[in-house]
Amino acid sequence: MARKRIGILTGGGDVAGLNAVIKSVTYRGSEDDIEVVGLRRGWEALTHLNLDDPNSRSHYVIPLNRENTRTIDRRGGTVLHSSRVNPSKIQKLPGHLVGNEVPVSLSTNGGIATKTWDLTSRVLANLSGLGIEHLIAIGGDDTLSYAAKLNELGVKIIAIPKTMDNDVRNTEYCIGFSTAITRASDAIQRQRTTVGSHERIGIFRVFGRDAGFTALLHRVCDLDTMPHTGA
């Protein structure tokens, strides 16, 4: 019986903890006799991969095992690399697909029309060609929204939320959020003496895009560390 094969990719911005997740998946896979395939550069691996080209395979696909993931959790970023590619909104076709019939859509933003291609059919073909039965997608809103689309098409998806903004619904803490809080808190704490020395008020802006969880939790943590007075 052939071994079960799963794929794993990281998309969007990098955060602390990605390599730890990749290592954990690989180690658990080895314990359960499951082959783990790393898909490099996010969704681009499945849109730009040319299965007939060995160079393309080595560029986008890497077998993961205990040996090549043993120490990856000691550094930040992601060893699989990342990209901000949405397969349903590709702005430039890969060279080997130029001239093929690919679904096209036009979108208008600020009066400017943009043509994009939907390479979902290529994603499905490449998953099948690689023999990947389950796909683990690690990412934020954009990465996981496309993973949800694949799920609706019958692909077996495991979604792992990763975003410093903590704005992926149905989860309490996303990978990267805790580090974002501690780093922001540390940076702000270091400014207290400077602001106080000049008798000024410091205003700090932290990321969060459409969500304010980073600022909110930092404020809660800040209040918890302040000395309490009164009865």
d(CA 85, CA 179): 25
Cβ atoms 174, 138 nearer than 8 A: no
User: Regarding beta strands 134-139 and 4-10, do their DSSP bridges make them parallel or antiparallel, or are they unpaired?
Assistant: parallel
**142 is annotated as an active-site residue:** no
Closest CA to 221 of 172, 188, 174: 188
Cβ atoms 88, 149 nearer than 8 A: yes
The owner of tokens 């700090």 is 204
Closest CA to 122 of 42, 5, 44, 6: 44
Q: Which of 14, 73, 165, 222 is catalytic?
A: 165
CA angle 178, 179, 180 (to 5 degrees): 90
Strands (E), the chain: 4-10, 34-39, 61-64, 104-109, 112-117, 134-139, 156-161
What's the DSSP call for residue 176? T
Instruction: Kindly list the catalytic residues.
Output: 165
